[in-house]
Amino acid sequence: MRTKIILSRIAPAAVLALVLGALAFSNGHGHGRRSIAGAWVNTFDFPGDPNTLVQSEVILPLDPAGATYAATFGFANPVQNAADHTIGRPTGTYVRVGPNRYKFTLTWARGLGPTEFPGRAAYVTLHVLSGTAYLTDQGTLVNDGVLAIFAAGQDVAPRDGFPDEGEVPVAVVPWTFESKRVEVQEPYPLP
């Protein structure tokens, strides 16, 4: 009788502790302590270019399980040439393929301006960056990808922002970068 009383009091407490522990581990989202959701900053050095490209990326979960994410990124210091423009914000998708491992594709277009439409750049190239990404720790995301560059004429039927089936890129380059999570920091003291 005494054993039944002790078990009946311990069992609910143990179940509650397990549930609370699981929620704490998953941050309430069901996809583990490590998640790629958040704001990220990275730098990329091009061979022969003395200026480092600074990129920022925002990654948002599309489902409660953390299996699919939407991403958008931008360049803090793009090409400073009035005739060379990034058209729109680069966007893409990350899909979880294992613990802390993801496949991704990001896409954007570049243009030359001005055209007969004031303020609108002519669609010249389409960029598709695909590869794998993984978290090395909660604050570091490594993307290992390949950037394929297509001419605008390779996006014709339909003209949808993606290269037509069977098109071969005009250039392919490795694009590997390490991003750091933007964490909340205390303000720096004023002088």
CA distances from 48 to 51, 52, 188 (A): 9, 11, 35
Residues 171, 124: Cα–Cα separation, whole Å: 14
Residues in a beta bridge with 20: none
Q: Look up the pTM and report it.
A: 0.73
CB 89 within 8 Å of CB 76: no
Residue 43 makes CB contacts below 8 A (sequence gap 6+) with 52, 53, 54, 55, 177
pLDDT in single tens digits along all 191 residues of the chain: 554 544 445 444 443 343 334 434 444 344 445 899 999 999 877 777 777 778 899 999 999 999 999 999 887 766 555 555 566 678 999 999 999 999 999 998 877 665 555 655 667 888 899 999 999 999 999 999 999 999 888 988 888 888 999 999 999 999 888 999 999 999 999 99
Give the DSSP per-residue string, 113-160. Answer: ---SSTT--EEEEEEEEEEEEEEEETTEEEEEEEEEEEEGGG--TT-S
Q: Which CATH class is domain 34-181?
A: mainly beta
Going from N- to C-terminal start, the domains of the chain cover 1-30, 34-181
Residues whose CB falls within 8 Å of the CB of residue 5, separated by 6 or more in sequence, listed in order: none
